[in-house]
Structure 1
Amino acid sequence: MDKWEMYMEIQQLIKKGFSKSKVAEKLGVSRSTIYRNLKKSPSEMAEWVESLQTRRKKLDTYKELILSWLQEHPDMSAAQVQDWLQERNPSLEIGESTVRAYVRELRHEYKIEKETSPREYEAIPDSPMGEQIQVDFGFTKQRTINNKEVKLSFIAFVLSNSRYKYKEWLDRPFTTEDVIRAHENAFKWFEGIPGELVYDQDSLIVVSENGGDLILTKEFQQYKDTRKLNLRVCRKADPESKGRIENVVGFIKHNFAKHRVFHNIESWNEQGWQWLNRTGNFKIHNTTKKRPVEVFSLEKQHLRPVIQKINVINKYENSISRSVHKDNTIRYLSNRYSLPLGTFSKYETVGVKESEDQHLLIYIPETGELIAKHKIPEGKGHLIKDRNHTRNRSKGIDAFLDTVANQFKNKEAANQYLTTLREKYPRYIRDQLQIILRETKRNSDDLLSVALHECERRKLYSATDFSDIVQYIKRQRQVNDTVNDNAENVTPINSLSSWIMETEAPKREVDTYTVLMEGDSQ
Structure 2
Amino acid sequence: MIRSGLILMIRQEAQSGQTAYAIGKKLGISKNTAKKYIKDVPEDHGLKERKRPSKLDPYKLQVDTLMSRGIFNCVVIMERIQDAGYDGGITIIKDYVQNKRPPRNTPAVRRYETLPGKQAQMDWGIVHYIDEKGIVHKAPAFMMILGSSRTKYLEFTKRCDFYSLLRCIVNAFEYFDGVPEIVLTDRMKTVIDGSEAGKPLWNKRFEDFASDMGFIPKVCRPKRPQTKGKVERLVDYVKDNFLPGRTFTDAEDLNRHAIAWCQKADSKRHGTTGEIPLESLMKEPLLALPSQETRDKYRWEVRKVTRDGFISYDGAMYGIPWCYSGRELRVRILGEYFEAYDGNVRIVQHKVEYTSGRIVWLKGQYEGLTERNGIAAPLSYAYKVRDISVETRPLSIYDQAAGVM
Structure 2: distance between partners of 1:375 and 1:185: 23
Contact 1:363 1:371 in 2 (8 A): no
1:127 equivalenced with 2:95 (yes/no): no
**Deviation sequence 1:266-319 (CA, Å, 0-9, x none):** 10001101111112x1222221122211211211xx111113222225445xx4
Q: Report how far residue 173 of structure 1 moved.
A: 2.2
1:146 equivalenced with 2:130 (yes/no): no
1:256 alignment partner, one of 228, 238, 242: 242
1:284 alignment partner, one of 262, 269, 278: 269
Map 1:307-386 onto structure 2 (within 5 A).
307-309=290-292, 310=294, 311-312=297-298, 314-316=300-302, 319-321=303-305, 330=309, 339=318, 351=329, 364=340, 371=352, 385=359
**Deviation sequence 1:226-274 (CA, Å, 0-9, x none):** 2232111001221331111111111111110123234310100011011
Contact 2:185 2:219 in 1 (8 A): yes
**Deviation sequence 1:469-510 (CA, Å, 0-9, x none):** xxxxxxxxxxxxxxxxxxxxxxxxxxxxxxxxxxxxxxxxxx
Structure 1: distance between partners of 2:140 and 2:201: 25
- 1:182 maps to which residue? 168
Contact 1:145 1:262 in 2 (8 A): no
Give the SS at the match of 1:282: coil
Change (3 A) 1:369 1:237: farther
- 1:199 maps to which residue? 185
* Structure showing the higher helix proportion among its residues: 1
1:237 equivalenced with 2:216 (yes/no): no
- 1:4 maps to which residue? none
Q: Report how far residue 386 of structure 1 moved.
A: 5.3
Change (3 A) 1:331 1:271: closer
Give the SS at the match of 1:214: strand
Where does the alignment leave 5 or more consecutive residues of structure 2 unmatched? Answer: 1-105, 332-337, 364-405
Q: Report how far residue 174 of structure 1 moved.
A: 1.4
Identity of aligned residues (%): 20
Give the SS at the match of 2:178: coil
Map 1:10-29 onto structure 2 (within 5 A).
none
Change (3 A) 1:249 1:210: same
Change (3 A) 1:236 1:331: closer
Give the SS at the match of 1:275: helix
2:201 alignment partner, one of 209, 215, 220: 215
Change (3 A) 1:313 1:182: closer
Change (3 A) 1:375 1:283: closer
Query: What is the Cα-based RMSD across aligned positions, in Å?
Result: 4.2
**Deviation sequence 1:4-33 (CA, Å, 0-9, x none):** xxxxxxxxxxxxxxxxxxxxxxxxxxxxxx
* Structure showing the higher strand proportion among its residues: 2
Structure 1: distance between partners of 2:195 and 2:339: 32
Give the number of the structure whose alpha-carbon radius of gyration is greater.
Answer: 2
Change (3 A) 1:262 1:224: same
Change (3 A) 1:283 1:225: same
Structure 2: distance between partners of 1:235 and 1:370: 43
Structure-1-length-normalised TM-score: 0.40
Change (3 A) 1:173 1:241: same
Give the SS at the match of 1:174: coil
Structure 2: distance between partners of 1:308 and 1:352: 20
**Deviation sequence 1:398-447 (CA, Å, 0-9, x none):** xxxxxxxxxxxxxxxxxxxxxxxxxxxxxxxxxxxxxxxxxxxxxxxxxx
Aligned length, in residue pairs: 241
- 2:91 maps to which residue? none
Contact 2:125 2:141 in 1 (8 A): yes
Contact 1:322 1:330 in 2 (8 A): yes
Contact 2:184 2:217 in 1 (8 A): yes
Structure 1: distance between partners of 2:317 and 2:233: 42
Q: Report how far residue 331 of structure 1 moved.
A: 5.2
Change (3 A) 1:122 1:215: closer
Map 1:435-446 onto structure 2 (within 5 A).
none
- 2:66 maps to which residue? none
Contact 1:176 1:219 in 2 (8 A): no
Structure 2: distance between partners of 1:257 and 1:244: 19
Structure 1: distance between partners of 2:133 and 2:208: 42
Structure 1: distance between partners of 2:194 and 2:118: 25
Structure 2: distance between partners of 1:136 and 1:199: 6
1:298 alignment partner, one of 276, 283, 292: 283
Change (3 A) 1:306 1:121: farther
Change (3 A) 1:140 1:332: closer
Contact 1:322 1:350 in 2 (8 A): no
Structure 2: distance between partners of 1:120 and 1:169: 33
